[in-house]
Amino acid sequence: MKENKLVTISEFEILLSSINCCYAEKVSKRLPKLTDFSNEIYDSNNDINIDNLLKDIELVTDIFFKSVCLRICAIYELKESRDLNIDINFKKIWGLIFESISILPSDATISSIGSQGFLSIPLFKFNIDMEKFDFIRLHIWDDSLDDFINTKTCEDFSIHTHSFFAESWIICGKIINNRYNVNVVEDQTSHSLFTIGYNKSLNEVNQHTSNANNTNNFVNVNQISNENYSQGSHYIVKAGDYHKSISEKKNSPSATFFSFNGSKGLVEQSFVVGPSNVTISEINRKMHIDPIHLLNKINSKILSDGK
């Protein structure tokens, strides 16, 4: 980690815009622009010191400005640790993210259930250049979320690939990651490859609905690993590799920071494995689920684990 957390003005603008786009659109006008920051954040070379954002943050009265500052500090630290391939300080980063969300009204946060059944909260998204695509989210698994999803559909379409290199850091709980060899065959089998189509008229950060469409390519599926990860551990999934990640919930939440990174690898198309007798399957997602109760559960668990 750099001793002085300095970024250029252009780098800071990218960081700021990539964070601001992950708040609900209804609060976009309340989020800070570069010109809203005081001169105190600049050093003598006109670079911006990230640490200076936190120095006077307790004096900040605007909750949206404070939330963005907290998130900038968290995302900067996570990205730096990730890109330098060093252990992330997940408790520090969690504390910043937890406060940045919890101080805001619930509807200021984009919070919806993804196709794999977990709650997804976008934190940072850079998508101007797909080869440098960078998307960081908070993922939460909890038994209470089962009320909002079709658990059978989630299980039937749980084995999938990603278009981008993916990394996951476990904040609390336990995550099971299974990897698979998936091969297209000519003979009919019980599974086929599906592509995912999104309803692009809705929020572009977390889509509301998606369809799994059968490509009519039959496949054989063989599991090749069963990996268990707990708090503080980390795993990667290369672009195009098949896997399934689930939580060992047991009436307790699991949470991860999750990253897509195009600069570390990307493929043109991602796929999902599903039942070959299904032509199309709609995956409905509740547009907004208040995350505060789950965030408080996770925070209490992290604090108790630290004793």
Look at residue 203 in the predicted model and tell me its pLDDT: 45
CATH homologous superfamily of 110-305 equals Jelly Rolls (2.60.120.10)
Please report the pLDDT score of residue 286 as a whole number: 61
Q: What is the pTM of this model?
A: 0.93
Per the listing, tokens 């699991």 go with: 254
pLDDT given at position 198: 64
What is the per-residue pLDDT for 201?
40
Q: Domain-by-domain residue ranges, the chain?
A: 6-102, 110-305
For 138-197, what is each residue's pLDDT tens digit?
999 999 998 888 888 889 999 999 999 999 999 999 999 999 999 999 999 999 999 987
Q: Check residue 204 and give its pLDDT.
A: 52
Residues of the chain with pLDDT under 70: 1-3, 56, 198-209, 249, 283-287, 306-307
pLDDT of residue 42: 87
3-state secondary structure of 289: coil
